Amino acid sequence: MTTGTVLQGESVVLTCFQKSAPDAGRLAGRLAATLRRLGDQAGWRALEEQVARSATGGAQPVQVEIHGLGARADFDAGRLGKWLDGVVSAASREGRKEVTIVLPDHEAAKGRRALQVLLPVLLSGYEYRRFRAKRARPSLRKLLLLPPTGEDESYAVALRLARSLMRGVKTCRDLGNTPPNEATPEWMAEQAAGLAAKKGLDCQVLGPEEMEKMGMGGILAVGGGSAHPPRLVRLEWGEGEDVISFVGKGITFDTGGISIKPSPAMEEMKYDKCGACTVLGVTQVVSELGLPGRFRAYMPLAENMPDGSSYRPSDIVRCYNGKTVEILNTDAEGRMILADAMSWAAAEKADTLVELSTLTGASVVALGHQGAALYTPDDPLSKELLLAASHTGERLWRMPLWPEFSEDMKGVHADLRNLGSRWGGANNAAAFLGNFVGRTRRWAHLDIAGTAYRASREEADSGATGFGVNLLVDWLLRRTGRF
């Protein structure tokens, strides 16, 4: 994909708002004449999703399309992204080779928004095809985007960032989509180590023996029933006094363990590693862009399987920070591996700690698949993350950390229990994690269970979404004053 000011290709796509004339300012000759003819035809009202098309005359005809965007006042970045994705997907599906898209003259496509315009276009048509024998559908050879007038420089700067973001999101999606017979804890650790070697990052991978010496009973308990031993990956890069740490849940497959899950939709549990995948995607982008600051990433990786050596309901497990946890349900395993990783991040004096996990079905009940739950005791951090979410379209909704939820997670024979009451399950889980942040007051937990993947047997873009990569990079760009 390129941006520029020269119209070319076999088709040109333009837009029009209601009660406005099509903008022919960048067109000349037969292209402009064809556009005016489309705008003057009976029935054209520029309604949202209304499309008019016609080919120019001449020896090399060009198809001109005009797309209605509805009322200008109702248009926003979300609708722009959806429209762009539809146009690019349709062009690929129809086998077109070269297409020019003239972006609308609207605030949603200007300035800092350029990055969020370019990213969905670059990601459009993504499919996970590693295990497919069938050839991929035809794709565009060249796509030219024309920015709104005066925005060429913004788009030129944004294109480099967008390409890096695209690679990070694709890394996250590819890892999330990889099946569990390949994506074991060892394999995931190898992918992280490979990325670290390419980007020059410090990498440490802990196996069961190292974790036992460090007292990381949570990860060892969860991974004890699997033939594939658990791992804990730690990455570090950059310089500076303040440390920003990311923690991502990496359950490579979750049967529920002894408290086994029902069989319907269990195949979706390969996505229980998506928190770790997001953290690795963010690591790739941040290191590639060379964002200033000191960063660490922690990825606890385990497979939760039922076996003679699995942990059991009523077991008591001691975590890295010394706190003990009574196991009521082995399917509440994510919080157990996060307890060790978050404790380690806190012990290494993280100034800001952001954790992502597909932690609870309760968060999906509360927010559906339209947004992720945000938990943090820090109001400024909440505002920063919500601002980034509003910009990228990866919705967050702040949820409560009331003291009653912490009370509900206190144990009878141990300091804590890993399962609270039926009500407010996502809140109880977040409160549990609050016991493992030490003195780190600036911390946030993002429950991405409803947004990390799309489950569909028909749609080509089903699977891991890469949720959180764009959001966290945007947050860091704002913190560092970049773009």
Report, as residue numbers or ranges, the catalytic residues: 261, 335
Phi, psi dihedral angles at 289 (to 5 degrees): -80, -15
CA nearest neighbour of 101 among 34, 6, 14, 9: 14
Count CA atoms closer than 13 A to 424's CA, side-chain side: 18
Edge-to-edge order in the sheet of strand 416-417: 316-318, 324-326, 416-417
Please tell me the distance from the alpha carbon of residue 335 to that of residue 321, in angstroms, as a whole number.
Answer: 14
Please tell me the distance from the alpha carbon of residue 316 to that of residue 262, in angstroms, as a whole number.
Answer: 25
Assigned token pair, 278 = 């997001």
Per-state percent for the chain, helix, strand, coil, to nearest 5 = 40, 20, 40
Cα pseudo-dihedral 294, 394, 124, 195, rounded to 10: 20
Please tell me the distance from the alpha carbon of residue 437 to that of residue 455, in angstroms, as a whole number.
Answer: 33
Q: How far is CA 258 from the centre of its chain?
A: 30
Place of tokens 């997670």: 409
